[in-house]
Amino acid sequence: MSVKQPKAPSRANGRSRKIGLFGGSFDPIHVGHVAVARAAQRRFHLDHVLFIPLGRPPHKVRHRLAPFPHRFAMVALACAGHPQFVPSLAEAGPKLGGQRVYYSIDTVRHFRHVFHRHGDHLYFILGADSFLKIPMWKEYVALLNSCNFIVASRPGFRSDVLRMVIPRELLGRPHASAASADPHAIALRRTTVHLLDSVASDVSATEVRRRCHRGQSIRGLVPPLIEEYIGKQALYR
């Protein structure tokens, strides 16, 4: 990583922490993202949720994103007032240009280095639509093996399809504990995939951009400060 994350926030009481890693284009960040992060933070008692705007997402290299500084600024605004939400520059790349393609496995390794030496636990947060595409990601078996996952449901998604993208050799572990009794958790050999089905937001960044382009209101689709920022910067017109 060319841009180092600030030192890991200090541990309360010396206990290990739970850290959520929530990557996305965030073009722009919207209320669906915030709802997912809040629900994940509460349900899994996450000490921090790091919002990581992706430089150039590998799956969207042809898609023109708003410049990285704008996407990061909106993420930072959305994190304000949420003590556990931390905007991350981990994928900002050289000169904060957001031009480099990062792969999730490399970002997770980076954060394992930052956090795991303290005995902390990482949770990779993503939507169900993204999880279903995971077999196309770089070193996805290693990724599934390297941290826990929190998969947020999206409207129209059936939870039973989650298992279909997990390689059989990773499924199940001997003496699986609470995870195997939880119908919302899939125990892998070393990690657990948790389904978060308490969020049912059908907001998407595509819809926000489309409405801006048409000159329609985006009230309620993004947090108020983001709506203000998009207006002031004339984004997505």
| Interface with ligand ATP, residue 107, by CB under 6 A | no
Q: Does 65 bind ligand ATP (CB under 6 A)?
A: no
- Tell whether residue 205 is a contact of ligand ATP (CB under 6 A): yes
Identify which range of 9-17, 41-49, 93-101, 126-134 contacts ligand ATP by CB under 6 A: 126-134
Under 8 Å between Cβ of 37 and 75? no
Stretch that binds ligand ATP, among 22-30, 98-106, 187-195, 226-234 (CB under 6 A): 22-30
Phi, psi of 195 (to 5 degrees): -95, 130
CB under 8 Å to 29, separation ≥6 — which residues?
51, 71, 74, 75, 78, 205, 222, 223, 226
What is the C-alpha separation between 9 and 17, in angstroms, rounded?
10
Q: Does 127 bind ligand ATP (CB under 6 A)?
A: yes
Q: Cβ of residue 34: shortest distance to ligand ATP, in angstroms?
A: 10
Residues 143-172 binding ligand ATP (CB under 6 A) are 152, 154
| CB of 34 closer than 8 Å to CB of 78 | yes
Beta strand pairing status for 192-196 and 148-152? parallel
Binding of ligand ATP by 26 (CB under 6 A)? yes
Q: Where on the chain is the footprint of ligand ATP (CB under 6 A)?
A: 24-27, 32-33, 36, 126-127, 129-130, 152, 154, 199, 201, 203-206
